[in-house]
Amino acid sequence: MIKVDLQYSGLEKNDLNETKVKDIHKMIINKTGKGNDFLGWLEWPKTFDKNEYEKMKKAASSLRDKIDVLVVVGIGGSYLGIRAADEMIRGINNFDKIKIVYAGHTMSSTYVAQLSKYLKNKKFGICVISKSGTTTEPGLAFRTLEQQLNEQVGIEKSKDLIVAITDKSKGALKTLADNKGYLTFVIPDNIGGRFSVLTPVGIFPLLVAGVNTDKIFTGAIKAMNNLVQDNLTNEAYKYAAARNALYNKGYKAEALVSYELQMQYINEWWKQLFGESEGKDGKGLYPTSMIFSTDLHSLGQWVQQGTRGVLFESVIKIVEPVNDMKITKDKDDLDGLNYLVGKTFHEINSTAIEGVIDAHVNSGKMPNIILEFEKMDEEMLGYLVYFFELAVAMSGYLLEVNPFDQPGVEIYKYNMFKLLGKPGVK
């Protein structure tokens, strides 16, 4: 469950446009708004192909036995959701057999060369994710790493170590995988990249990582069942309406704040979801993020006393910790911290949240939206993915843009292709 608390937002009931929310709700469920051919994620947690899911489980289990490192090759929606889910659920220093590393999300030669060297003595597999198979970054990385794997284990064995997540029937990657005998799973046509975490894009790598994906779907279905109201009692809509109201009051940027390091890529995933869905037609909040208390010691000064009226915070409070530790007594107490003995790290972290909200809201006049999460586990991941997807649909329509396209991403690509002399580009 996610609860949205607006008591520190500075907003009043009248600031939230409930009438418009009700109209848009109809537009979403009846699929009559802009971009409505990309609403597949709306029923996905209940309607996804159970046969394919069973096949994925088998394939992942078999791959898991053969490797120590899984290289996920993808960019944007084929990268951020996987990393977000993996780090939130398994943590940063996890002890699972499988380590996930990423490629195809950069053209840095230094990164690719170091990764290639790192993989030299490793038993590794590749999960390459691309709808088309012709995107430059993942295309170049896959070409390089596929060749390395062939050299390390031979072409025959490689076939069992490479899995492609791609279009069901067309595109370069589908053709390539079929020709070479790689297993493939399907990216649905009606779900855009940034909405694809719960499709094979996210689920297959997470299965290889040993994550309990059944529970992810349990959480997503809970969200589907909870978030059905057409009004502001729907917590996803409440969040969307609140951020839209702050935008209308002149705020230009929203920082998603968390107090857990392993939520960093949830922040990054959220940035794509909201930035790419809303940043068009000269509109939209700039999505940014911070991890506290870490960043209180860097950006905290600006947040407390810098320029006002530009940024607001949306703060994730996590009720229950995954692990906890008590503060132990020190006989000399030179650091003066014995007054905390008996308390746990999580209790202190939670107290910090209260103190910071008070400081930022009351002294700093910085609006805060509070998002209360239960725990960092599989179920919560499923829930939050659905929650934010529904919220961004509402939020994008409130802004009167198409939340499901990304026309601006093509402009730099066109320039780059022209400079690189890509055939057919003039």
List the catalytic residues: 276, 297, 413
Q: Supply 298's token pair.
A: 């860097």
Q: Whole-angstrom Cα distance, residue 362 to residue 140?
A: 51
Q: Which helix (H) or strand (E) holds 354?
A: helix 345-358
Q: Is 155 in the site for a second copy (CB under 8 A)?
A: no
Q: Supply 337's token pair.
A: 């911290």
Q: Supply 93's token pair.
A: 């220093």
Q: Which is nearer to a second copy, 26 or 252 (CB)?
A: 252
Q: Whole-angstrom Cα distance, residue 245 to residue 20?
A: 12
Q: Is 147 in the site for a second copy (CB under 8 A)?
A: yes
How far apart are CB 223 and a second copy at their closest, in Å?
23
**Cβ proximity of 193 and 269 under 8 Å:** no
Binding mask 52-81 for a second copy (x = CB under 8 A): -----------------------xxx-xx-
Binding mask 391-410 for a second copy (x = CB under 8 A): ---------------xxxx-
Q: Is 46 in the site for a second copy (CB under 8 A)?
A: no
Instruction: Pick the stretch among 13-21, 55-63, 99-107, 389-397 that binds a second copy (CB under 8 A).
Output: 99-107
**Cβ proximity of 253 and 289 under 8 Å:** no
CA 141 to chain centre: 22
- Kindly tell me which residue out of 356, 371, 381, 392 binds a second copy, with binding defined by CB under 8 A: 356
By CB under 8 A, how many residues form the interface with a second copy? 131
- Kindly tell me which residue out of 280, 370, 386, 403 binds a second copy, with binding defined by CB under 8 A: 280
Q: Whole-angstrom Cα distance, residue 276 to residue 281?
A: 12
Question: What strand order describes the sheet that includes 183-186?
Answer: 99-103, 69-73, 124-129, 162-166, 183-186
Q: Is 426 in the site for a second copy (CB under 8 A)?
A: no
Q: Whole-angstrom Cα distance, residue 237 to residue 239?
A: 5
Instruction: Pick the stretch among 156-164, 215-223, 232-240, 259-267 that binds a second copy (CB under 8 A).
Output: 259-267
Binding mask 166-185 for a second copy (x = CB under 8 A): ------xx-xx--x------
Q: Which of 105, 179, 100 is nearest to 141 (CA)?
A: 105
- Kindly tell me which residue out of 87, 167, 235, 260 binds a second copy, with binding defined by CB under 8 A: 260
Q: Which parts of 101-140 interact with a second copy (CB under 8 A)? A: 101, 105-118, 133-134, 136-137, 139-140
